Amino acid sequence: MKTLQFREAIAEAMSEEMRRDETIYLMGEEVAEYNGAYKASKGMLDEFGDKRVIDTPISELGFAGVGVGSTMTGNRPIIEFMTFNFALVGIDQIINNAAKIRQMSGGQFPCPIVFRGPTASAGQLAATHSQAFESWYANCPGLKVVVPSNPADAKGLLKSAIRDDDPVIFMESEQMYGDKGEVPEGEYTIPLGVADIRREGSDVTIVSFGKIIKEADKAADELGKEGISCEIIDLRTVKPLDYDAVVNSVKKTNRLVIVEEAWPFGNVSTEITYHVQENAFDYLDAPIQRINTADTPAPYSPVLLEEWLPNHEDVIKAVNKVLYR
């Protein structure tokens, strides 16, 4: 094992795949000369040149469309958005073209493309730069959605995403790029659609993904001091979602808490809640609890933002509620 920052794991995954396959290229704002807005493509311009690491104007709709079109001529692009908030400008290309080309061409044109960049909040960035769109993209047939929470998963999942013949939305976090973690030496991939049981437990299942799972970890540490055993499941992939991992865990613990940084209406946690009550209702000893952001745009005020976001204290309260404590 070796220790890498999250941004280094991203760069290593892209570089290894670009060495393996010359049809892969990286395109986005500041990915080349500036080494990436978050330094997640550091050194790649020097190694691969400006034909494969391409700076673009501020034109998300344009370079998203160039990427989608290039898949039809045999390329496998990685399109970086400086933030998925800006992907809203290019979402027509993602939803109406990338997600539908395979079906609308009768299978003649797969669309092997990765759209990657940070999602959700990252401190005081205010309402238009603090949005989580995982459930939006997961709602669209034809797209896969990946949200890693640590450097090892980021590398293994990104390599799988790049090799996938369907479009993949790969969502990171500005607040995780500096996170360090152990990453396996040598070649490895992590299959899409397989959750990780990052902590085994017997009293309650906590499901989460992305950077907000850190709050679940904090809560589990504190609850452990009180003798409460929490099982934590990191979904890693939102679509396809590993329903079996969640259901099997609930059958063991009989209680479920879901933590997701997203608005509460129609999100990933509501989908999981429906699936569990459909497939494990008789195993539940308490109603499912979900923890989301407030149903408002993200505030700029640090005091309000702290209140708006899910935190480990919210998780502890929810666990106590399902345990009737």
Q: With cut-offs at 50, 70 and 90, classify the pLDDT of residue 226.
A: very high
Q: What is the pLDDT of residue 192?
A: 98
With a threshold of 0.95, does the pTM exceed it?
yes
Query: Among this protein's residues, is 60 annotated catalytic?
Result: yes
Q: What is residue 125's DSSP assignment? A: -
Q: Helix, strand or coil for residue 136?
A: helix
What lies within 8 Å, CB to CB, of 227 at 6+ separation is none
Question: Using one digit for the tens of pLDDT, what is the confidence trace for 281-314?
Answer: 999 999 999 999 999 999 999 999 999 999 999 9
Q: What is the pLDDT of residue 65?
A: 98
Residue-level pLDDT at 129: 96
Helices (H), 226-311: 243-253, 268-279, 302-308
Catalytic residue chosen out of the listed positions 8, 17, 80, 129: 129
75-92 pLDDT, tens digit per residue, is 999 999 999 999 999 999
- pLDDT at res. 8: 98
Please give the average per-residue pLDDT across 18-45, as a whole number: 98
Q: pLDDT at position 73, please?
A: 96
Dihedral-angle region of residue 53 (phi above 0 means left; psi in -120 to 50 means alpha; beta otherwise) = beta
Q: Kindly state the tokens that stand for 56.
A: 């673009």
Phi/psi for 222 (5° steps) reads: -70, -40
pLDDT tens per residue, range 231-258: 999 999 999 999 999 999 999 999 999 9
d(CA 222, CA 201): 14
Spell out the alpha helix ranges (H) of 168-261: 213-225, 243-253
pLDDT score, position 161:
98
Of 60, 215, 260, 261, catalytic: 60
Q: What is the pLDDT of residues 102-131, one digit of tens each?
A: 999 999 999 999 999 999 999 999 999 999
pLDDT at 183: 98
What pLDDT is stored for residue 125 in this prediction?
95
pLDDT digits (tens, 9 = 90+) for 52-72: 999 999 999 999 999 999 999
DSSP string, 139-176: TSTT-EEE---SHHHHHHHHHHHHH-SS-EEEEE-TTT
- Which band of pLDDT confidence, cut at 50, 70 and 90, is reported for residue 22? very high
pLDDT in tens, 141-177: 999 999 999 999 999 999 999 999 999 999 999 999 9
Q: Is 231 a catalytic residue?
A: no
pLDDT at 30: 97
Instruction: Order the strands of the 289-291 sheet from edge to edge.
Output: 196-199, 230-234, 204-208, 256-259, 289-291
Residue 62 CA from chain centroid, whole number: 24
Alpha-carbon distance of 224 to 201, in angstroms, equals: 10
**pLDDT range class, residue 32, cuts 50, 70, 90:** very high
CA distance 230 to 224: 7
Residue 261: per-residue pLDDT: 98
Tell me the average pLDDT across 18-24. 98
